[in-house]
Amino acid sequence: MVHVTCAAHGLHRTAEEVRGQFGTIDKIISNVKKIFKKAPSRVQTFKTHAPNIPLPPEPVITRWGTWLKASIYYCEYYKQICEIVEMLDSEDASSIKIAKKNLVKTCVKTESLDILEKVQVQLQMAQGNDGQKVYKKFETVLNKNSGLKILKQISKIIGGESDNMDTLPEDLTTNDLIGNQEY
């Protein structure tokens, strides 16, 4: 008899490791989720100030894909989330205080992009037809996200890896780049 451990469990354990490596991001995801859960007035504030974006996702730790989707959400809507959380009173809830503290850390933008890059590399190495389908889907989603492409370019400029601002939007200034670093 051969014992085979469930592959889904192995994927879950791998996702737990990713989450563990990015503690600041995990605190943001967890606490922003708490800010809007069961708080109709905060949900209304969110919808008023960001009517075109969905509410922050509510990942379930036992469903590993939900945390990864949440990290992608924060990459995409990071600036808006920062602005909305900043409007809230830190004394209303400890989750607001914790989220504000972690959202302003300069490592957060880099960590969010690092998560995506690591997931991309791992998916690219996936074997078989199903693995390649998953990777292609991931690539399609990322390629459609023009804001993420801009964010990656800004990160390279801030990190000193590039000085090419030709691909950035024309209305983006050097001050905007410096301002983005503070988030």
Do 103 and 82 form a contact (C-beta atoms < 8 A)?
A: yes
The predicted structure's pLDDT at residue 117: 81
Q: What percentage of residues in the chain have a pLDDT greater than 70?
A: 80
Count of CB atoms situated within 10 Å of the CB of 8: 9
The predicted structure's pLDDT at residue 177: 55
The predicted structure's pLDDT at residue 163: 75
Q: Which parts of the chain sit beneath pLDDT 50? A: 179-183
The phi-psi region of residue 148 (left if phi > 0; otherwise alpha if psi is between -120 and 50; otherwise beta) is: alpha
What pLDDT digit, counting tens, does each position of 28-63 carry? 999 999 999 989 999 999 999 999 999 999 988 777
The predicted structure's pLDDT at residue 183: 36
Indicate the burial class of 28 (C-beta count within 10 angstroms; 0-12, 13-18, 19 or more): buried
The predicted structure's pLDDT at residue 161: 78
The predicted structure's pLDDT at residue 5: 62
84 membership: H or E segment, kind and range = helix 64-87
The predicted structure's pLDDT at residue 102: 87
